[in-house]
Each structure stands twice: as C-alpha cells, then as structure tokens.
Structure 1
Amino acid sequence: MTAHGTPCWYELTTGKGDLAKAGDFYAAVLGWRIADSGMEGFSYHLARMGDDMVAGLMEMPEDVPDMPPLWTIYFTVDDADQAARDIIAAGGHIHREPADIPGTGRFAIAGDPAGAGFGILQPLPMEDGSDSTAFDQQRSGHANWNELMSSDPAAAFDFYAGLFGWTRSTAIDMGEMGSYQLFAHQGTDIGGMMGLGAAPVSNWLPYFGVDAVQGAMTRITEQGGTLIHGPQEVPGGAFIAVARDPQGAHFAVVGPK
C-alpha cells in the first residue's frame, strides 16, 4: 500500500464544458489515453499512461464557479479524518471535509497556512497489493516532481514535515529569489519549495516527465497552450519548462532537453 506522505494522485479541475478539450490537450502533450471513469451522475475522466492510471480530470464543481482551472496534488495518508484534524491544528484549512469515494478511498481537500491547496487520500488497498502509479520519477507520462511556491516556505516546510514526515534535502541558492529547498520522502527527493517569485498566491505545481522537453514545448504551443518559462537546465542535467494549458491550469514538464 502506498506509504503515508507519498504523492499519489494528480487531478485537473477545468472549466465547465471544457473537459473533453482539456483531455485532448494532455493526451497530445503527454501521451495519455483518457476515458470516462463511468461514475454515475458525475463526469470524471481517468488518464492512463500505458496500463497505469496517472491522473483524473473533472469540471469545476457548481459550488466554486469562479475558481480558475488548476491541478491538485493528493498525498497519501493513513487516516484521512485524523489528517484533517492535524491540518487544522497546524494552522491549515479543510475546504472539503473527508468523504468516501466508492472503490477508491477517503479523501479531503485542504489548504496550508499560506493558502496553497492540496488533497489528502486514504486509499483502499488495491486487490493486487500494488501501489499508486501516478508518481513515478523513472517513467515519462507520470508525475515526476512536486513544487510548492509559498509566501513563507520555511513555515510551509514545517507544516508539511509535521503532516507527512518529509525531511529536508539539498538547499539550492537562487540569489535574489532565495533558496530552493528540496524535500524528501523515505530518503528520495520528491519535490522542492521556494518563495512566490512571480506567482500571485501560494500554490502547488505538478511536473510531468517527458522524453524530450523541447518536443513537449512544441506540442504545448501547437495544442493551444502557453509557455511561461523554459527550457531551463536544473541540477542533475534534466531540463524543465513551465506552461499553462488552454483553459488556464498551470503545469510543468521535466526530462532530457
């Protein structure tokens, strides 16, 4: 079973009437195969890379019509109800109280003390005993990195470390932008935290692995997306690019140039 604190699911919430178009965009850019999940009374699309489920796509809920399209990263917890209480006790917020997803597990939508949104998921054990396949740093088309831009990255690290058991790894000096603090889970770097930079509010940004960043950048623009930054080489020799999909959700790609 996927361990507490592991990134386990990536969910796109897009505009009303844009679900099919958003799916077509990511299928073209990342190579996903997307199909309706078959949920009764609710359109929720599942993205697969090969046989692996890697992401979910849905339209904006009726109760938050003014929220812009966005990606939400979910992290595994052993007990969703206890984790929700811990989030509140540490100064965070619960936007959607813990609830069951039939056949999947128990989830909640939360915000950290600086306002960055994220999800928690207490997954049901899979029949074959396997773990979530959404986050895999060795395979293209899967989530590869999780980046937090925060108005208070030091306090944010303390919040998430207390909640998920993450540890500090390397800190990279970014000059006037401060430091980029890598964080690890069970000894493996899974993301980084930094100040806001040009971001208007604290937020999480998912990175998806690709075989070639420049090729992905070409596909992004050909499919109507917008390039914001990159390609940029990062420590370790990989390249990154940050983009916005045609509906406005931000994401990034990482891989060889």
Structure 2
Amino acid sequence: MTDASNFIWYELMTSDPAGAAAFYGAVVGWTIPSQGEATAGGVDYRMIGRSDGGNAGGVLALNADMLAGGARPLWIGYLHVADVDAAVEAIKADGGAVQMAAMDIPVGRIAMVTDPQGAPFYVMTPTPPPGSEGMESDVFSMDQPQRVRWNELATSDPGAAIAFYKKHFGWGQEGEMDMGPIGAYRFIQRGDVGIGAVMPLMEGYPAPVWSYYIGVDDIDRALAAVRANGGTVTNEPMEIPGGEFAMNAIDPQGAPVGFVGPRQS
C-alpha cells in the first residue's frame, strides 16, 4: 500500500517548544531539540525524535504574530495527496475552506484546509529525499508506542463528514459502537487498516476537530507523568476494545491530546 490518503505527518503547534519537549519527553519518551531550525519565513520548527531513531512528527513554534492572528496550541495531521492544488480545489468545491494557501516547502507542497464542518488538517504532496522514493511514512501505527495510533474526528455532522473523507481520500467506514445519548462512534478504515473513528461533537467542544492518540508503553505511568509535568487530565483511562486503555489530556501549553496503551500493573 502506498501513502496515498494516509496520515503521513503530525505537527504540534505550540507557544512553548521547550515546555512541550519536557512534557512529551516525560509522558511519551520523545526527544525534541532545545533549538529549532529556522524554516521559510523564519519559523522555528523542531523534529520529534522517537527512541528507535525515527521521527514522530514536528513541533512548530507559534510566534507573537501567529498568536495575535488567533493561532492556538493544537495537534494537526497531514494527509497525503497526489496533487495539492487539485485536492484544494476539490475540497473547496465540496464546502471545505482554505486556511493556508498552497505553498512549497523543502520537503514538498502543502496547504491547510478544513472539511465542510470546519475540522482543520493539512494536505501534502511530499518530495522524498533521493534514494527514498517509495518509502512509506511510519508516524502512524496501529500498535506501536511513540507513534500516533488513532485518529478521532468529533464533528457536527458525522454522516456528511464520513461521506466527504470517503470521496476525497477513499476511506471506508465499517462498524460502530453505541455511545448512548452521545450517538454512534463510527470506525473508519484505510484499506483494511483501522485508522480511527468519527463521533458526534459533544458538549464542550467549541468546533469540529481531529484528535490524535499517541501510543505509550504504560497508560498508568503516562497518567502520572501528565499530572506531574503540568498537564490536565480531561478523561481518565478507560478500557477500549482489545484490552488497552485510552485517556485524554491537555498539555501544559493548551493543546488537547490523547494517549493509548496497555495497563502494565
């Protein structure tokens, strides 16, 4: 399977990269450099390192101008497309919006868009390094720690959102879990791989949004680390199908995040 329509990158936009490095280092085991690389326009960008030597994503430092313009700490995903400009036009034609116009960066071409309900994400056509053509991104995994393991969309119109992602990214939707008065938790697939779910927007969510669950080695250790390092737990660990546990938190800078993993004790 190629990377077409896959989540190929995740990015933490944060007001304090050093604080985020300390938090995610303690909770997940990642390494984030103390100094970023200046990218186009002088933006501070840092790679997230995993213990196995790979990258889990990137950290973009929100500067004063970005914050003044309304940007806030947030995790955001990148979806692979064959042609960014064509994807943007098709998304606009179906009711989506453009948050950041298509632009070239050293590693490819990107644009930030929203789906018709308003959930933001990037579309990207990457330019692989010489000799790496055909390689697949490994930032998402169904079962590995230190990678995003689940992509969850909370939206005001789950049926319309599923139809949108089916049309533009070829995803499937099979199976669901009854959440009582909240509604159905509907599972989504890329090929035969379960990549996440779509759920109704619950009270307290200000707008439709994608949430990402990061794999940890021990959910109770991660829970303690969240609390000990300035995070806020919004949902305690709960058992999920398969016997592992998932929890939700807000990192010290204000970005919502999820964690998933086994209970070791």
Mark yes or no: TM-score above 0.5.
yes
Give 1:29 deviation, angstroms: 1.1
Letter in 2 for 1:181: R
Q: Could you tell me which residue of structure 1 aligns to residue 62 of structure 2?
A: 60
Say which of 164, 167, 172 aligns to 2:172: 167
Letter in 2 for 1:57: V
What's the CA shift string for 1:213-255, capped at 9, x where partnerless? 1111110111100000021111121210000000110010011
Alignment of 1:158 with 2:158, yes or no, is no
Say which of 88, 100, 118 aligns to 2:121: 118
Give 1:37 deviation, angstroms: 5.2
* Contact 1:226–1:244, Cα closer than 8 Å, also in 2: yes
Say which of 223, 228, 233 aligns to 1:217: 223
Give 1:60 deviation, angstroms: 2.0
Q: Could you tell me which residue of structure 2 aligns to residue 31 of structure 1?
A: 29
The DSSP-based 3-state class of the residue aligned with 1:33 is: coil
4+ aligned runs moved over 3 Å, structure 1: none
Structure 1 stretches of 5 or more lacking a match? none
Alignment of 1:187 with 2:187, yes or no, is no
% of aligned pairs identical?
Answer: 37
Structure 2 stretches of 5 or more lacking a match? none
Q: Could you tell me which residue of structure 1 aligns to residue 151 of structure 2?
A: 146
* Contact 1:166–1:183, Cα closer than 8 Å, also in 2: yes
- Which range is displaced more, 133-142 or 69-78? 133-142
The DSSP-based 3-state class of the residue aligned with 2:77 is: strand
* Contact 2:23–2:251, Cα closer than 8 Å, also in 1: yes
Give 1:38 deviation, angstroms: 2.6
Letter in 2 for 1:239: F
The DSSP-based 3-state class of the residue aligned with 1:91 is: coil
* Contact 1:2–1:8, Cα closer than 8 Å, also in 2: no
Length-normalised TM-score, structure 2: 0.91
Judging changes above 3 Å, is the alpha-carbon distance between structure 1 residues 32 and 2 closer, same or farther for their aligned structure 2 residues? Answer: farther
Alignment of 1:98 with 2:102, yes or no, is yes
Give 1:123 deviation, angstroms: 0.9
Judging changes above 3 Å, is the alpha-carbon distance between structure 1 residues 201 and 164 closer, same or farther for their aligned structure 2 residues? Answer: same
Length-normalised TM-score, structure 1: 0.94
Letter in 1 for 2:125: Q
- RMSD across aligned C-alpha pairs, in angstroms? 1.5
Q: Could you tell me which residue of structure 1 aligns to residue 79 of structure 2?
A: 75
The DSSP-based 3-state class of the residue aligned with 2:165 is: helix
Give 1:64 deviation, angstroms: 5.0
Letter in 1 for 2:53: D
The DSSP-based 3-state class of the residue aligned with 1:219 is: helix
